[in-house]
């Protein structure tokens, strides 16, 4: 039995306590020394790899793996460092990730349960799993390691971050969204946020299982899309707006021409006739920028049957509303807001940023005429996403746009850290029901009844 373990089996005297403490300190010192040795080996191997190899590959190849393994062995022999076979294998894998991958982030991004990866500082890395943010035990050796990973992310995208341009927002090769902020803007060092791109997109059935809404509500949404209503999906950050927009876009008939516009392409429509447009930032000379507004204006010349805007966030709101009012029915889009009512207020503000000197009443009249429905999403305290409000824009009363709630989320209980509730009808039948019936769809009136649509949407599974 090891001496330290033996000492822990019985009450220790003063001398034994001192001896036990000395053994613990020795072990801790050895562990720190081992970590320093590993960091030293990694630094030396990386330096030699960068000097001896031209790393143009985007992933580890067998020859590079073998070369790195040999260099690890050479450095160990040169510095007379003792490592087990398992430690050498782990070190080699870490070096492969550092040199041609995303270093410590690789294991987080490979986890299918992870939806977001957030680097705060070199020793603080968080992830979002099942709708909740958790701190991981992943750390970086230094800011230089984080910067190398940032360069590896931005280089294939034709983007660059430095002190003159310390922020970048882009889409990675696998479709994931990445936002990077470095010093001097990020006071504590480089901050990296990666929103993972789901390899298998969520389906309507998935959202029903998650408790986002009931099957009856999704049939209602399907009917509104087929009937070519202009619809906005609103909600806070990470509330599931884009996921819902993607599913609603799939309800568009396959014989229609669809043009999508996004800052970072996330929508994956399955229809055969889809034109996907993505914004482009200005180059180093400040030229070549293509904004969402530019894309919306250009899309009107592309003979679209449907216009789908990934997120309305600026002056393009005016062009989208005008498009909706000039024959482009069935347009869809998302925007950030805290409620359906706030969505209209924010949309009005964005229209005003377009620089057109229009009276507020004229803007509101155009909005009330263009948009028929707002679907509001929210993330509840357990991390799950729900449709919490579906409202019809029913017209104007004086200078105010009137909203009529068709469905409302009602929270009934919180059990085992799960929020239980239901999206129930308010008993009001929408004015656009005739348009739905003209499209050949008959919805049961019980869907809108406050008693008939009280189907529980308990979240059994989180995203």
Tell me, yes or no, whether 300 and 349 share the same domain.
yes
Dihedral over Cα of 10, 16, 22, 23: its sign: negative
Interatomic CA distance for residues 44 and 415, integer angstroms: 53
Tell me, yes or no, whether 8 and 134 share the same domain.
no
Tell me, yes or no, whether 212 and 184 share the same domain.
no
Tell me, yes or no, whether 345 and 418 share the same domain.
yes
Tell me, yes or no, whether 61 and 119 share the same domain.
no
Q: Is the pLDDT of residue 49 over 70?
A: no
Q: CATH number for the domain including 113? A: 3.30.450.370
Report CA-CA distances (Å) from 354 to 240, 254, 318, 398, 463: 27, 34, 7, 24, 37
pLDDT (tens digit, 9 = 90+) per residue, 383-429? 889 999 999 999 999 999 999 999 999 888 777 678 888 899 999 99
Q: Is the pLDDT of residue 346 over 70?
A: yes
Tell me, yes or no, whether 300 and 434 share the same domain.
yes
pLDDT (tens digit, 9 = 90+) per residue, 283-309? 777 788 899 999 999 999 999 999 999
The answer to the question of residue 461 being in a domain is: no
Domain count, the chain: 3
pLDDT reported for residue 422: 86
pLDDT reported for residue 454: 43
The answer to the question of residue 39 being in a domain is: yes
Average predicted confidence (pLDDT) for the chain: 83
> Of 81, 100, 119, which closes a domain?
100
Tell me, yes or no, whether 150 and 247 share the same domain.
no
Q: Are 406 and 387 in contact (CB under 8 A)?
A: no
Tell me, yes or no, whether 51 and 126 share the same domain.
no
Pick left, alpha or beta for residue 387 (phi over 0 → left; psi -120 to 50 → alpha; otherwise beta): beta
Q: What percent of the chain has pLDDT over 70?
A: 83
Tell me, yes or no, whether 179 and 223 share the same domain.
no
pLDDT reported for residue 7: 38
pLDDT reported for residue 51: 63
Tell me, yes or no, whether 140 and 62 share the same domain.
no
The answer to the question of residue 459 being in a domain is: no
Tell me, rounded to whole angstroms, the distance of Cα 117 from its chain centroid. 9
pLDDT reported for residue 13: 53
Tell me, rounded to whole angstroms, the distance of Cα 391 from its chain centroid. 26
Tell me, rounded to whole angstroms, the distance of Cα 342 from its chain centroid. 22
Dihedral over Cα of 277, 283, 288, 291: its sign: positive
Tell me, yes or no, whether 116 and 140 share the same domain.
yes
> Of 83, 100, 117, which closes a domain?
100
pLDDT (tens digit, 9 = 90+) per residue, 241-259? 999 999 999 999 999 999 9
Tell me, yes or no, whether 366 and 422 share the same domain.
yes
Interatomic CA distance for residues 347 and 461, integer angstroms: 33
pLDDT reported for residue 459: 38
Q: Are 46 and 72 in contact (CB under 8 A)?
A: no
The answer to the question of residue 462 being in a domain is: no
**Helix or strand holding residue 345 (H, E):** helix 340-352
Q: Would you state the structure tokens that stand for residue 217, as one six-digit string?
A: 């509500």
Expressed as residue numbers, the domain containing 145 is 105-195
The answer to the question of residue 393 being in a domain is: yes
Interatomic CA distance for residues 156 and 154, integer angstroms: 6
């Amino acid at each position: 039995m090891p001496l330290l373990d033996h000492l822990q089996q019985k009450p220790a005297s003063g001398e034994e306590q001192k001896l036990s403490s000395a053994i613990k300190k020795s072990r801790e010192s050895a562990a720190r020394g081992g970590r320093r040795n590993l960091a030293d080996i990694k630094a030396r191997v990386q330096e030699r790899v960068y000097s001896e190899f031209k790393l143009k590959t985007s992933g580890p190849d067998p020859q590079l793996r073998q070369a790195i393994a040999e260099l690890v062995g050479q450095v160990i022999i040169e510095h007379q460092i003792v490592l087990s076979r398992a430690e050498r294998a782990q070190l080699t894998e870490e070096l492969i990730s550092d040199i041609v991958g995303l270093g410590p982030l690789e294991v987080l991004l490979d986890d299918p349960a992870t939806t977001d990866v957030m680097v705060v500082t070199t020793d603080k890395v968080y992830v979002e799993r099942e709708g909740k943010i958790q701190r991981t035990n992943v750390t970086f050796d230094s800011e230089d390691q984080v910067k190398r990973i940032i360069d590896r992310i931005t280089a294939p995208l034709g983007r660059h971050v430095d002190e003159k341009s310390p922020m970048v927002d882009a889409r990675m090769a696998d479709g994931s969204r990445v936002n990077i902020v470095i010093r001097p803007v990020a006071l504590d060092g480089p901050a990296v946020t990666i929103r993972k791109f789901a390899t298998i997109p969520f389906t309507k059935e998935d959202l029903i299982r998650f408790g986002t809404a009931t099957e009856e509500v999704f049939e209602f949404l399907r009917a509104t899309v087929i009937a070519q209503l202009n619809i906005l999906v609103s909600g806070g950050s990470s509330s599931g707006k884009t996921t819902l927009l993607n599913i609603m876009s799939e309800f568009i008939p396959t014989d229609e021409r669809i043009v999508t516009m996004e800052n970072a392409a996330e929508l994956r429509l399955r229809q055969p006739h889809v034109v996907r447009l993505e914004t482009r930032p200005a180059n180093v000379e400040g030229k070549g920028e293509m904004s969402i507004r530019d894309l919306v204006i250009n899309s009107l010349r592309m003979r679209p049957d449907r216009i789908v805007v990934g997120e309305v966030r600026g002056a393009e709101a005016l062009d989208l509303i005008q498009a909706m009012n000039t024959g482009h029915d069935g347009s869809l889009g998302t925007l950030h807001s805290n409620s359906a009512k706030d969505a209209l207020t924010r949309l009005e503000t964005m229209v005003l940023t377009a620089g057109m000197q229009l009276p507020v009443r004229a803007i509101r009249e155009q909005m009330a005429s263009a948009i028929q429905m707002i679907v509001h999403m929210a993330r509840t305290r357990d991390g799950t996403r729900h449709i919490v409000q579906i409202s019809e824009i029913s017209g104007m009363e004086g200078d105010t746009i009137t909203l009529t709630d068709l469905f409302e989320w009602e929270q009934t209980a919180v059990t085992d850290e799960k929020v239980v509730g239901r999206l129930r009808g308010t008993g009001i039948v929408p004015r656009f029901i005739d348009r739905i019936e003209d499209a050949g769809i008959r919805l049961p009136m019980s869907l809108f009844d406050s008693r008939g649509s009280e189907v529980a949407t308990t979240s059994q599974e989180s995203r």
